[in-house]
Chains A and B, each alone.
Chain A
């Protein structure tokens, strides 16, 4: 646990209209892969939406690299929002643009680079995720795993310091999902990004996570925090044990991960 915290979540009450989580506090350190996990409907995705500034939390503060996303002047908010990249469950690529144009869009909007430089940069980002050959394809013409990777390339376009991933392995086969895990680790090691990931895919959690927090619907908050191996071997309570072991058994029995939203 080295480095200073890049994300500070303090006493956040998460929810859209009604609170799902009452009092959530945690910190994410620079350069780590941090996983938010928990069962369906426990508020993982909502918490992520608070973190990336889409929905204001019902209470508490969230700081990204010292800047507050909510309750701060528009300039501070915009500056904070430009320092992270997000990928969504479905990829959320713009369907009317090619992959290259998708990656170019943030560059076009926020830099004064000439067109040639933008194209080169976008091509490099696509190369980073192994999609250079598909630069002129439209999102509809590529596979689900490629969409996820293209979305990561777009999120990386402005060289963010934090990368938020919403269920990156949802709907992917185990091999593709493992490739994505390798890509995430590679991005952390070579580009120095901090990765915050929402998932309940046990295999990926063990493969990539440095630390994780587990949320629970009935406890309405964090029920466990720590490295995944520790949570697996010494679960602090029954819910955590059930999560790690049941999914573990299922993975072992069927030979593949089961992904459900």
Chain B
């Protein structure tokens, strides 16, 4: 018996209650009697027919044990398609880079210079600052240990070799990925969302040649230069700390210069260029793969930075193995 005589207005929860009561009554084989002076129940039942609704309060939501497997599968598919897209992009970029000499007019040198300025010159202050602080910290930490053996002067060797070979390129690449890799992805992604990429294609221009190559080239060329600046700033930081700890700057420089072989410098520069190439490739690839949704550009930028960092680290490891094998 449902007494709804005094119900004036019925909201969504009330309607659900009426529906549920009717269903339970029906499932247990008796009909629910209603006192329904204002017709609220009748109107509800008229609007929502009981048999059309399947979810019920009586049966709890089934716990899905497949969820983990499903997510795992989805993630794998996602990773696999991501890898396929990256490979496809790499192939397309290579093809359009190789076909450039035949169609020199299509390449936008002006764009490349613009990105060179944005990714390089504009990044100089932060690169110098981080490099300087890195040298400072490195000098300070190693000096305390080296002092126990009375060989503080060798801090200069450590800083010079460490920065040129390893930390300079690495830290600069991380900065480039954060500053420019994300920017590449966001710029190209926004163009994709605005249908500008489609417009390029229908104008007969390849988005990869037109948008990606100038950026990739700029990133590759700018990295060795930025990396060198960061190393020099780091050495400056080292000099200052060691001067404060009693090692004369001249001695520091002599040690640093003697420790720096041409091999070290070249190895670092090559590494920097490869890191730059990776940042450019990954940034542009994620930009071009942006989904047309509000969160698409954000996701593309995030994926560009994360992807670049992973690849940089992997490449760094490969370089270490390579250096070991070649004895550089």
Judge whether A90 and B204 touch: CB under 8 Å.
no
Judge whether B198 and A109 touch: CB under 8 Å.
no
Judge whether B202 and A109 touch: CB under 8 Å.
no
Is A106 an interface residue, CB under 8 A from the partner?
yes
The 8 A CB mask of B202-224 against A (1 = contact, 0 = none) is 11110000000000000000000
Judge whether B204 and A81 touch: CB under 8 Å.
yes
A54-B202 contact given A90-B194, A92-B194, A109-B105, CB 8 Å threshold = yes
Most chain A CB within 10 A, of B201, B202, B204, is at B202
Most chain A CB within 10 A, of B105, B198, B203, B205, is at B203
Judge whether B196 and A92 touch: CB under 8 Å.
yes
Judge whether A110 and B204 touch: CB under 8 Å.
yes
Partner of A78, one of B105, B198, B204: B204
Q: Which residue of B lies closest to A77 (CB)?
A: B204
Most chain A CB within 10 A, of B105, B198, B204, B205, is at B204
B188 CB, min distance to chain A CBs, angstroms: 12
The 8 A CB mask of B171-212 against A (1 = contact, 0 = none) is 000000000000000000001001110110111110000000
A86-B106 contact given A78-B204, A109-B205, A110-B204, CB 8 Å threshold = no
A54-B201 contact given A90-B195, A92-B195, CB 8 Å threshold = yes
In B140-195, which residues have CB < 8 Å from any A CB? 191, 194-195
* Chain A interface, >50% SS class: mixed
B105 surroundings in chain A (CB, below 8 A): 108-109
Judge whether B195 and A89 touch: CB under 8 Å.
yes
Judge whether B204 and A88 touch: CB under 8 Å.
no
Judge whether B204 and A82 touch: CB under 8 Å.
yes
Is A53 an interface residue, CB under 8 A from the partner?
yes
Most chain B CB within 10 A, of A52, A82, A106, is at A106
Interface bin, chain B: 10 to 19
Complex CA distance for A85 and B194, rounded to whole angstroms? 17
Partner of A109, one of B106, B195, B196, B201: B106
Complex CA distance for A106 and B201, rounded to whole angstroms? 11
B241 CB, min distance to chain A CBs, angstroms: 44
Is A105 an interface residue, CB under 8 A from the partner?
yes
Judge whether B205 and A52 touch: CB under 8 Å.
no
Is A94 an interface residue, CB under 8 A from the partner?
yes
Complex CA distance for A86 and B195, rounded to whole angstroms? 11
In A4-37, which residues have CB < 8 Å from any B CB? none
Q: Which residue of A lies closest to B111 (CB)?
A: A96
Complex CA distance for A257 and B195, rounded to whole angstroms? 25
A86 surroundings in chain B (CB, below 8 A): 198-199, 202
The 8 A CB mask of B244-258 against A (1 = contact, 0 = none) is 000000000000000
Can you report 14 residue pairs joining A to B where beta carbons are below 8 Å apart?
A49-B198, A54-B198, A54-B202, A86-B199, A89-B195, A90-B195, A92-B196, A95-B196, A105-B203, A106-B205, A109-B105, A109-B106, A151-B199, A154-B203
